[in-house]
Amino acid sequence: MKRIDLLVAAIAMLAAPAAFAADDTITIGMTQSQTGSLNVDSVAQYRGFEIWRDEVNGAGGIAAGGKHYKVKFVSYDDQSQGGRVQQLYTRLIIQDKSDFLFSPYSSGLTATAAVISEQYGKIMIITGGAEEKTYTLGNKYLFQVITPAGHYLSGALEALHSKNPKARVAFVYSDDPFSKAVVSAARDQAKEAGFDVVLDESYAPSTTDFGPVVNKIISARADALFGGGHYPDSATLARQVYDQKANLKWESLLVAPGDAKFASLGKAALGVSTGSQWELPVKFTPQFGPTGTEFAKKFEAKYHIAADYHSASGYAGAMILQHAIEQAGSVDPEKVAAALNKTDATIFFGHIKFATDPGDHGMQIAHQMVVAQWVEDNATLSRQVVWPRDAASAPLLYPIPSH
């Protein structure tokens, strides 16, 4: 009996590879925040990666240099904490023998992962880390697909300027690397634009009660509020601003309004805007890959929720890596890095090009963000693109109601 079992097993093992058209596998390593405060957006980002991988493998793998490579992911939970990231990425490189890496979600975690990827000379595609500092330390293998932090609020500031150039502006933001980088650039831009900056304060990321700081916003008689941080605090700030009737005419918060869940805040969400890396209404004509509408449809069919910009970033980053491998005709890190450095393409996500100077290598220099705002249509809340005007899908809502 045993002999036959062995024989069957042997035949099965020999037959199995023939089922794949692939000659080889590429391993891509990453960590996700399955637990912890970054969970919501990290999972969204991962879904973008996942849907790309399934598509690529379904089509037979990535074609490079006459071979076909199937894609395999290895991922671990970083618990939204930097402490484990380095150990996990080292493991991904040494034990799991990853060929390429995707970044974790958030600038803080990405910065610490980047140290490891550079130490071992592995390419890391960054779809969730916007802070610029990471790219100024002299790297060779980091490639940022999303617009850097400094631009997150520029569109929103421009939009405000078009309606009220003399507005009194308040900056209230989370004391974390990403939000600080965003506001540092936004502050300069606000001053140059001639706005009156009446409040400028950061809060601890773990803050639960924004009551005191909202009172400060009211005391400062601010017309507009810019800031927030990641999902939990931006959402709470939005709610409390509404509860305390801060009388704002304009409110742009980071990250949270970009998520479909933000609608659960009800009236508090109305009129709140955010800088978004990608919104469905903005239609680019892609040189390769799906259009925005096609991507959104595929995503919704698989996950039964609307795609947000985090998922789109994940998918875009993966696509760009694939494109570079195909262009290089090889999976050799040096050749792929060279191909990435030469990339200058438009995909559903927008125009992608990387900085190549050693001083800021890898930073994204072509992609633009849009301003998305929650508006009401027949008592239903939806998120629309309101800026820049030529990409808008709805008129700018100013002043925002009952704030």
Nearest to 276 by CA among 171, 178, 183, 156: 156
Residue 113 vs 321, nearer CB to other proteins: 113
Q: Is 326 a residue that touches other proteins (CB under 8 A)?
A: no
Q: How far is the CB of 338 from other proteins (least distance, A)?
A: 20
- Which residues within the stretch 183-202 sit at the binding site for other proteins (CB under 8 A)? 201-202
Q: Could you report how far apart the first and last alpha carbons of the chain are, in Å?
A: 77
Q: Is 264 a residue that touches other proteins (CB under 8 A)?
A: yes
Q: Is 206 a residue that touches other proteins (CB under 8 A)?
A: yes
Kind and range of the H or E run holding 338: helix 333-342
d(CA 403, CA 399): 9
Q: Is 376 a residue that touches other proteins (CB under 8 A)?
A: no
Identify which range of 231-239, 315-323, 326-334, 354-362 contacts other proteins by CB under 8 A.
Answer: 231-239
Residue 264 vs 293, nearer CB to other proteins: 264
The residue whose two tokens read 């990853």 is 98
List 27, 247, 291, 330, residue binding other proteins (CB under 8 A) = 247
CB 198 within 8 A of CB 168: yes
Helix (H, G, I), strand (E, B), or coil: what is residue 199? strand
Q: How far is the CB of 5 from other proteins (least distance, A)?
A: 27
Nearest to 219 by CA among 242, 198, 240, 204: 198
7 alpha carbon, distance to own chain's centre: 50
Q: How far is the CB of 212 from other proteins (least distance, A)?
A: 4
Nearest to 109 by CA among 139, 140, 77: 77
Residue 306 vs 394, nearer CB to other proteins: 306
d(CA 131, CA 250): 25
Identify which range of 7-15, 160-168, 211-219, 296-304 contacts other proteins by CB under 8 A.
Answer: 211-219
Phi, psi of 280 (to 5 degrees): -55, -45
Q: Interior CA angle at 314 toward 44 and 114, to 5°? A: 105
- Which residues within the stretch 285-324 sit at the binding site for other proteins (CB under 8 A)? none
Q: Where does 103-195 show beta strands of DSSP type E?
A: 124-126, 142-144, 168-174
Q: Is 231 a residue that touches other proteins (CB under 8 A)?
A: yes
List 118, 158, 326, 376, residue binding other proteins (CB under 8 A) = 118
Number of residues that bind other proteins (CB under 8 A): 65
Q: How far is the CB of 115 from other proteins (least distance, A)?
A: 4
Site string for other proteins, 75-114 (x = CB under 8 A): -xx--xxxxx-xxx-xx--xx------------x--xx--
Residue 268 vs 370, nearer CB to other proteins: 268
Q: Is 137 a residue that touches other proteins (CB under 8 A)?
A: yes
Neighbours of 197 (CB within 10 A): 16
Per DSSP, the residues of 247-308 read: --SEEEESSGGGSGGGGGGGGGGTTEEEEES--TT-----SSS--HHHHHHHHHHHHSS---
Site string for other proteins, 138-177 (x = CB under 8 A): x------------------------------------xxx
Which residues form the interface with other proteins (CB under 8 A)? Answer: 34-37, 39-40, 76-77, 80-84, 86-88, 90-91, 94-95, 108, 111-112, 115, 118-119, 131, 133, 137-138, 175-177, 180-181, 201-209, 211-213, 215-216, 218-219, 231-232, 235-236, 239-240, 243-245, 247, 261, 264-266
